[in-house]
Amino acid sequence: MSNKGSRLARYGGLALAGIGLAHYAKPEAFESITAMAFPGDDIRQHTYINGGIETALGVGLANRPTRRLAVVALLGYLGYLGLNVARNAG
């Protein structure tokens, strides 16, 4: 990966980790989005779980040795969320 691409992955990972941590600081900001994928009574719990996953993925993306694994995990996570949203939309 080029130096520019490496910086982009690092900063993108740090941004994703920051968003993940924000799930804990201000969970109500994420609950409407979380409810689309996980409707029900325990939306706050799912918000915290998603925050933890996003934080871990972001840290993984920010660090070169774990970046490839984090990309694969991120794709799986996005697919899982997308399928849940699609399943609960109708």
pLDDT digits (tens, 9 = 90+) for 42-75: 999 999 999 999 999 999 999 999 999 999 999 9
Give the CA angle between residues 40, 45, 50 to the nearest 5°.
105
pTM over 0.85: yes
Q: What is the mean pLDDT of residues 2-23?
A: 93
Q: Which phi and psi (to 5°) does residue 23 adopt?
A: -60, -30
